[in-house]
Amino acid sequence: DAMVIQNPRYQVTQFGKPVTLSCSQTLNHNVMYWYQQKSSQAPKLLFHYYDKDFNNEADTPDNFQSRRPNTSFCFLDIRSPGLGDAAMYLCATSRGDWRAEFRETQYFGPGTRLLVL
Amino acid sequence: GNSVTQMEGPVTLSEEAFLTINCTYTATGYPSLFWYVQYPGEGLQLLLKATKADDKGSNKGFEATYRKETTSFHLEKGSVQVSDSAVYFCALNPLTFGKGTMLLVSP
């Protein structure tokens, strides 16, 4: 089945130690998103890739970076995790069309829960 | 900017009760509207969507109608089940989510 896969499901890191979360998809969607979701809150968009074009949200901290080496994979790098970065990180994909920007459904992965010690 | 407002939860119902979760939005243009569901410990799953005014999205007994005149997209289900217990998110043009409404259904 076509899907969005996130690894690992749970990640523990130390304060200040760089960590990378990964996302892959078999849907061949051209748009990929990263969201941060804290407990009992809505997902907050960090950034997205429209094809190879990176789009950062204005309030996303510089501590968060992303890479998309090819259509299938996208990575979230947290350069120096703080205690406040502990959250669920959700990857999503959609089939984007510049004529109907973001009208397409997003498909979400199961998420990676990050714990910062 | 765009925004979505959902009723606060938790919404607590008995099995087979009628469900309404209110959602209103503010946006320019004609956005697509979505309802997503999140079960404990999992990612979001699309429940239903509507892409233009007066469209009705439906899935698994849930329905929502895109009301442009009231800028609303309320979620309804005629008879809820225990397995419907989850958090429901209303979303606008997928990038703007409401805060979510937790639904708890007891037997």
Q: What is the pLDDT of residue A2?
A: 64
Tell me the C-alpha to C-alpha distance, in Å, between residue A66 and each of A52, A86, A93, B3. Answer: 11, 17, 15, 26
Residue B60's pLDDT band (boundaries 50, 70, 90)?
A: very high
Distance from CA of B38 to the nearest CA of A (A): 10
- Chain B CB contacts of A39 below 8 Å: none
> Per-residue pLDDT for B62 more than 90?
yes
Tell me the C-alpha to C-alpha distance, in Å, between residue A81 and each of A16, A30, B41. Answer: 5, 29, 22
Among A14-28, A34-48, B39-53, name the most confident range. A14-28
Q: How far apart are CA A112 and CA A115, in angstroms?
A: 10
- Chain B CB contacts of A103 below 8 Å: 31-32, 51, 93
Question: What is chain B's mean pLDDT, rounded?
Answer: 92
Mutate to test the interface with B, among A97, A102, A113, A114 (most CBs of B within 10 A): A102
Which of A94, A106, A110 has its CB closest to that of B42? A110
Q: Who contacts A40 (Cβ-Cβ below 8 Å, separation ≥6)?
A: B100
Q: Is A102 in the B-facing interface, judged by CB distances under 8 Å? A: yes
Q: What is the pLDDT of residue A98?
A: 56
